[in-house]
Structure 1
Amino acid sequence: MKKLRSSAASSSQGAVPERFLMRLTAASPTLVSLPVIDLSGGRDEVRRAVLHAGKELGFFQVINHGMPERTMREMEMACSDFFRLPTTDKATLYSEDSEQTNRLLSSTMYRSAASESYACHCLHLACHPVERTKPSWPEKPVRLRPALEDFIIPARSIAMELLRLLCEGIGLQPDYFEGGLTGGDVIINANRYPPCADPNLTLGLPPHCDWNLITVLLQPGYVCGLQVLYNGDWIDVDPIPGALVINFGHQLEIATNGVLRSIEHRTVPNIVVGRTTVAALIMPTMDCVVGPAKELVVEGRSARYRRVAFRDFMHIYNTVGACKESVEEALKI
């Protein structure tokens, strides 16, 4: 299927509501693209590729990752079915309370100081460990719970293996990121971006860095929407059927003392079709204190960030906003 890109063409869907309007910086026509890493390659080769991508971009795509194609499609379809449910079936999940783990929220999730809104709906669920979290998942549609269970386990396994490879590459013990650093809830953010009359006037999500350690993202293989900030330019992430997008969050940059990068990214809507993505966010426990690994604070490279409990980090993140510069300024020593 041909990939669908955003267009400024007119649409029968009507004008973009005023609350969604904002000034945008267009994506660059640069030919830079995310690295695509074949995880079936030799360990040394894969480790070098993952480390290089982590230092350069903090974003890459992986293929031959071990998650069955059927699992990925079932997850995408189940989440799409959820967003198509009648409002009455979803009403009890709606909440703007950030302290509530399982909830459905809409464009107010990243409301800016200018009261702009964003064209996105998000189903936010704690999904690991499965045995503890599953009873709280939505019961409708009926395919959602089995799809979540099948997806979350391999998604977390892929993330943990990538973290082990990174440890090997930067001189940490292979199990450095086990325990509290990855022992928190694995959050699933299923995001639905509806079609937009003029994608040049609004965003699905604003520029932000993820608050967690590492994210495994499932996106449709036929429609563009994710953009990554690279050397001051926004570049499109071309979807690859069967691939997963990996990106690093604030906690990984902090823990590696800036060796690995957390990069701002955003999403843009599409004029033709809606888009559903599913992100698995690997998180520390709330009481885990995250700071630069002592092995990476050496002569000539002092600690760039102060140590802070993840609970306190989230308070900072929710207070200063998702902008990378604001969060880093609050965490500097």
Structure 2
Amino acid sequence: MELLMSNWTDVQSLPKSYVFPPDRRPGENAFPVCKNVPVIDLEKAEGPDRVETIQQILNASQKFGFFQVINHGVSESLTEDTMSVFKEFFGMPAEYKASFYSNDINKSCRIYSSTLNYDAEEFHYWRDNFTHRCHPVEDHVQDWPERPARYREVVGSYSVELRKFLLRILNLISEGLGIEQGYFEGDLSKIQLLSVNHHIPCPDPCLTLGMPEHSDPNLISMIQQCSVPGLQVFLEGKWMGVEPLPNAFLVIPGLQLKVISNGKFSSPLHRVVTHSDEARTTICSFFIPSHDILIEPAKSLLDADHAPNYKAFTYKEFFSTFTGKNCDGEVALEFFKNKPE
């Protein structure tokens, strides 16, 4: 069977390897929509409402572990062009996409199906993923697709604007926590990945998942959703849908921000369910620390009354533990927690 589902046509039934066991299926029940997702108007951070806006970001990062951002500074025409380019890419001929196929996480530009361990999986997830490094653009653009013809120009501009956006969010977080400005620049945000998930219409969404439940192991993530619902977060003991706002970005602080904030921030479990009638394409961008830099609670957050909750570790050590614990973020973090005496 062709691995990339973006090459499938006229899918009438779910292949057996995509049918999850009953206890892992989303089921037929309608999931509630989270009605109180925090919405941050980033324009207000540059005016008299700056302090209030920063506090909204901190509150959202602590209580929910995610928030939506409007007026983020990336033009609507660029976000629409980028989404259009990625949809074109997934519609390219199978032979062309096959030239990028790889399960090697060290390859700078690749497409794969389900997760990184397709051959070892008992059950597969209903998605294709295309991912590549994008910072600095000039170091990686030669590895990107030459088709669609606009790909390198449009995605290059988008990647640069996303980096500005995420650094702006991180600087506001620094200001709110009382960490020195520029703390998150350099090695803590050295690697920037663009990761695009594509889900074709699913014959039976109650039997499978588009992505596994997980917490993000990196520093920070953003998601440009499409109009087709699918993203869910685990809040208050249940799965809840996150409806996209037009021209908004969803921001999720990763597990490294949870450590640096000394446990103040949360990083929620989230997953993707499938849709029976429409394809769904979403664009994500991640900041990943340099593999050898030490991650630890920011020293400005520590004093006689606030001991570090986590030991110092390298991102390489953490990611190895994370993948070794089946990508369970909380279990992985337990390994690096300081135990009370």
TM-score by length of 1: 0.91
Indicate whether 1:33 and 2:40 are aligned. no
Q: Supply the distance in 1 between the matched residues of 2:192 and 2:55 (Cα, whole angstroms).
A: 27
Would the aligned equivalents of 2:34 and 2:242 in 1 still touch at CA under 8 Å? no
Structure 1 residue aligned with 2:124, among 114, 117, 123?
A: 117
Residue 287 in structure 1 maps to residue 292 in structure 2:
yes
Matching of residue 197 in structure 1 with residue 203 in structure 2: yes
In angstroms, what is the RMSD of aligned CA positions? 1.8
Aligned position for 1:16 = 14
User: Percent identity, aligned pairs only?
Assistant: 34
1: CA distance between counterparts of 2:145 and 2:281? 17
On the 8 A contact 2:322/2:329 being kept in 1, the answer is no
CA displacement, residues 251-309 of structure 1 (integer Å, 9 cap, x when unaligned): 11111111111111101111111111111101211221111112223344332222111
Query: What is the aligned partner in structure 2 of residue 271 from structure 1?
Result: 276
CA contact (8 A) 1:187 1:280 kept: yes
Mapped to 1, the partners of 2:84 and 2:321 lie a distance apart of 35
The whole-number CA distance in structure 2 between the counterparts of 1:200 and 1:225 is 12
1:175 and 1:47, CA in 2 relative to 1: closer, same or farther beyond 3 A? same
For residues 317 and 287 of structure 1, the distance between their equivalents in structure 2, rounded to whole angstroms, comes to: 16
Q: Does the 8 Å contact 1:306/1:332 carry over to 2? A: yes
Give deviations 1:86-107, integer Å, cap 9, x for gaps: 1100112111122223211111
**Selected match of 1:237 from 242, 246, 257:** 242
Change (3 A) 1:287 1:212: same
5+ residue gaps in structure 1? 1-11
Question: Alignment partner of 2:229: what SS?
Answer: coil
Q: 1:154 maps to which residue?
A: 161
**Equivalent position of 1:9 in the other structure:** none
Give, in angstroms, the shift of residue 223 of structure 1.
1.1
CA contact (8 A) 1:286 1:309 kept: yes
Cα deviation code 1:234-263 (max 9, x no counterpart): 111101111111111111111111111111
Cα distance in structure 2, aligned partners of 1:155 and 1:31 = 26
Question: Match for 2:43: what amino acid?
Answer: S
What is the TM-score with the length of structure 2 in the denominator? 0.89
Secondary structure in structure 2 of the residue aligned to 1:44: helix
Alpha-carbon distance, 1:313 to partner: 1.8
- CA separation in 2, counterparts of 1:110 and 1:52? 36
Does 1:217 find its partner at 2:226?
Answer: no
Query: In the alignment, which residue of structure 1 is the partner of 2:64?
Result: 57
Residues 114 and 132 (structure 1 numbering): CA distance in 2 closer, same or farther, change over 3 Å? closer
Q: Deviations over 1:69-119 (max 9, x none)?
A: 011011111111111111100112111122223211111336698611101
Partners of 1:212 and 1:31 in 2: how far apart?
24
Partner of 1:317: 322
Higher relative contact order (CA 8 A, sep 6+): 1
